[in-house]
Amino acid sequence: NTQDFKALRHAMTTIELSTCVVFQEVVLDDVLLPKNFIWFDGIGEEMPRFGFVAGKQTIKLSSMITGTPGHTAHTINNLLRILAIPMMSNRYDRDNYVVINWSNVDMGKEQYLERYPEEAWIVQLPYDFGSVTHAPANYMCGNCDLGGATVQPIQV
C-alpha cells in the first residue's frame, strides 16, 4: 500500500472507468496461475514493452510511476503502452506537427520516439497535442535541465 502502488491503482481505475479494460491483481496462491502477466516490483525494466509479452514482464514500479517532470499522465501512458496503444507522438504523420530533436534524446531511448506505420492508427482521428498519450516536451531528454526539448510543436 505504498504511494507508488496507490498511484498505479489510480491510473488503472482511470482507464477502467473510461474503457472496457479491467485490470486484475494476480493471486499467487490461486489454483489457476496466470501464464502471461505484468509484475510491478522494486527492480525490473524501466519501461514496459509495447503490447503483448509472453510470460512474466517485471516492471520497476518507481519507473512506472515517476516519469519526466511535468508529464502528469506518465503512469496512464505506460499502462496504455502495455495495452498496445501507441503514443500520439509516435504517429506516422507526427512530423507534420512536431519536431523531434534527436540529439537531446537519451542514448538507447530512441525507440520510444520512433514513428509507427499508418496501419497502426485510426486515420480519421486528428493529431491531438492534448492527448494523454502525447509525449511532453522533455520526454526521454538527458539534458533538458538546461531548457532543451525532445518534442517541439510546429503548430499549436
Indicate whether 117 and 64 sit together in one domain. Answer: no
pLDDT in tens, 29-57: 767 777 888 889 889 988 899 899 999 99
Asked if 92 and 121 count as a contact pair (C-beta separation under 8 A), the reply is yes
Q: How far is CA 18 from CA 9, 21, 100, in A?
A: 14, 8, 30
Alpha helix stretches (DSSP H) within the chain: 3-18, 61-65, 74-82
Q: Which of 39, 64, 82 corresponds to the end of one domain?
A: 82
pLDDT in tens, 80-94: 999 998 899 999 999
Indicate whether 78 and 111 sit together in one domain. Answer: no
For residue 110, the model assigns a pLDDT of 92
Indicate whether 135 and 109 sit together in one domain. Answer: yes
Q: Which of 82, 97, 127 corresponds to the end of one domain?
A: 82
Mean pLDDT of 63-82: 79
| Domain encompassing residue 59 | 3-82
Indicate whether 62 and 92 sit together in one domain. Answer: no
What does the angle CA 17 – CA 22 – CA 26 come to, to the nearest 5 degrees?
Answer: 135
For residue 65, the model assigns a pLDDT of 80
- H or E element in which residue 56 lies: strand 56-60
To which residue does cell 497535442 refer? 129
Q: Which of 24, 57, 82 corresponds to the end of one domain?
A: 82
- H or E element in which residue 19 lies: none
Q: How far is CA 69 from CA 55, 94, 135, 136, in A?
A: 32, 22, 12, 9
